[in-house]
Amino acid sequence: MRCLLISLQSNAYVTGLKYLAASILANGHDARILLLPGYLEPELNPEIEGFIRDYAPDLIGISLMSIEFYPAKNLTMLLRRRFSIPIIWGGVHVVISPDECLKYADYICCGEGERPIVSLLDHINEHGRDSIPQIPGIWVNRDGRLIKNSYAPPVMDLDSLPFQEYLPDYFYGLHKGRIYNFAKNPRLFRRYALYGGTCHMMITTRGCPFKCGYCANSYLINVYGRKVRERSVDNCMKELLHVRKDPYLLYINFEDDCFFAHSREWIREFSREYRRHIRLPFIVRAIPTMLDEEKLFMLKEAGLSMVVMGIQSGSDRVNFEVFDRRIRFNSVMRAAELISDAKVAGFYEMIVDNPYESEEDEMQTIESMARLKRPYIISLAHLTFFPGTPLTERAIRDNIADPEAYLYRYMVKIDMTYNNKLLGIAPYIPRSLVRYLNRPERQRHGLHNTLVNILHFVVKRSIEPAVFLFIMSRSLNYNIRLTIRTVLGNWRSALTKLISNYLGRGDMEYDQKLAMARERMPELFNR
């Protein structure tokens, strides 16, 4: 049986589909991955049609995040005009909005997909597509009749799953109207890959110990449970030893919600084996209250170069009362000091455009972030009300949220307000200047607005890139070769973000496609 897995996202970071394809292949079936970034064309490209006819899949899977809902709906309708191949949808958006998604697909996967999709392929092979499967995690739309099976139980033994490849030979992409095999065209792959393809995205755990009110994880916990499941160090090393063979690979980017959820014993063994066998710089994510000094310095010795840490707000009131995130800012300050002392690059994430934030909260956040130990990089994200989260339900009750906004606005596309601009430059200008500019709107004059606009322009185009270069170079122990490769791998996406309000190249192109589609195909957006 052959399964075609389609990603509609704007970049070639398809970790979920790679793990899914590996599982399909390991269980005796065949798989291909096809990247169709934000496909919103009114007709099916002949190249796509020819590719599908040549491959002749028995099942087509479409993976979608929330912002890819309309491309998924569009592509599904186009495929049905040309083929009678069953279509299954999967991904985070399907799990949090299954009833909506089941209207458009023949099947949806509610839960982790590695085992359910293999069971579905087995079922179609043995019983044919007309037979209705009774598979946990697979819901069925049979001519408008909806059959909802139980949720798929989470895989507890992650070592039992096959690992993904960095650039598999079954990975294809649509580029300028033609389909290319990325493995045979690695330069093209790097054009679509995050960070210029210098990173291998990897997951060593599944699950998050927190249940923040704004995060989809607050809903996913109902499906997967609270337990953080982990792979063994040996299993992780097998994947890493395989992917590090690619000469272009520079970093390992661990996408775990919190890498520090691992025990000290696990971190100690990982650090020892990683330093012995892999010897590549790597990136991890951290929750401030879980960042442990001993673990941090063990990882630094193994090659840790960057810690991505979610702070979200510098106001304890917002974190506790709005986000249901029980982390006080003094914990953030301790974590940031440890990161700086370890000479690891700090990359701190904040949530802005929050209708529940007062002006006082915004000013508190600016003041708090200016106090953190420097240098560090700050990243701002627009508060997105994802369906099913406690904060979204509250916002809908309060009539302050657009229930569909998450379908067409990127989180990184923030509002360019005075306070957002000042927050974005607070790590890079003197603290005394931050204090001077950080004042209520009623106390601002034309000089304040002019200064913030000028500083924002200058900082984002010169000072922030210089700080990034310095902290990355320092985290790489001033290795000139690695620093140059880091810059070269990121220059294209960095340049695009400078001119497009924080959107990367692929994001900006999709943003434009979505705006055009709403004008050309208004019927697509009827729900």
Determine which of 75-84, 227-236, 394-403 has the lowest per-residue pLDDT on average: 394-403
> CA angle 407-527-398, nearest 5°?
60
Cα separations in angstroms, 185 against 174, 182, 223, 242: 12, 5, 39, 20
Name which of 58, 81, 67, 2 is nearest 37 in CA terms.
67
Parallel, antiparallel or unpaired: strands 282-286 and 251-254: parallel
Q: How confident is the model at residue 504 (pLDDT cuts 50, 70, 90)?
A: low
Amino acid found at 408: Y
Closest by alpha carbon to 246, among 177, 128, 167, 134?
A: 167
DSSP annotation string for 419-447: HHHHHHHGGGS-HHHHHHH---GGG--HH
Kindly report the average pLDDT of the chain as a whole number: 90
Asked whether the beta carbons of 10 and 39 are under 8 A apart, the reply is no
How many Cβ atoms sit within 10 Å of the Cβ of residue 477? 12
pLDDT above 90: residue 129:
no
Task: Report the pLDDT value the prediction gives residue 507, as an integer from 0 to 100.
Answer: 64
Q: Which of 24-28, 128-132, 291-295 has the lowest mean pLDDT?
A: 128-132
**Do residues 414 and 353 make contact, with C-beta atoms less than 8 angstroms apart?**
yes
Confidence of residue 497 (pLDDT cuts 50, 70, 90): very low
Write the pLDDT tens digit of every residue in 331-387: 999 999 999 999 999 999 999 999 999 999 999 999 999 999 999 999 999 998 888
Adjacent-strand bridge partners of 107: 88, 140
pLDDT attached to residue 503: 52
pLDDT of residue 443: 94
Convert the pLDDT of each residue in 433-469 to its tens digit.
999 999 999 999 999 999 999 999 999 888 988 888 8
Share of the chain above pLDDT 90, in %: 66
pLDDT confidence of residue 420: 96
**Higher local confidence (pLDDT), 481 or 276:** 276
Does 394 have pLDDT greater than 60?
yes
Q: Tokens representing 35?
A: 């990247």
Which tops the pLDDT comparison, 475 or 186? 186
Average pLDDT over residues 422-440: 96
Q: Which of 58, 36, 62 is nearest to 47 (CA)?
A: 36
pLDDT at site 422: 97
388 compared with 243, residue with greater pLDDT? 243
Phi, then psi, of 169 in degrees rounded to 5? -75, 0
Average of per-residue pLDDT across 202-211: 87
pLDDT at residue number 482: 75
Res 498 pLDDT > 60: no
Q: What is the pLDDT of residue 167?
A: 93
pLDDT at 499: 41
What are the structural domains of the chain? Answer: 2-158 (3.40.50.280), 189-417+466-502 (3.20.20.70)
How would residue 217 be classed by pLDDT, with cut points 50, 70 and 90? confident
**Residue 298 tokens, joined:** 């063990």
Band (pLDDT 50/70/90 cuts) for residue 495 is: very low
pLDDT band of residue 199 (cuts 50, 70, 90) is confident
What per-residue confidence (pLDDT) applies to 236?
Answer: 97
What pTM was estimated for this model as a whole?
Answer: 0.90
pLDDT more than 70, % of the chain:
95
DSSP conformation class of 383: -
* Residues, the chain: 527
To the nearest 10°, report the CA torsion of 250, 254, 260, 261: -160
Residue 39 and residue 71: Cα distance in Å, rounded? 5
Cα separation, 82 vs 104, whole angstroms = 16
Q: What is the mean pLDDT of residues 123-137?
A: 93
pLDDT band of 489, cuts 50, 70, 90: low
pLDDT value at residue 490:
60
Helix/strand/coil (H, E, C) string of 76-137? Answer: HHHHHHHCCCCEEEECHHHHHCHHHHHCCCCEEECCCCHHHHHHHHHHHHHHCCCCCCCCCC
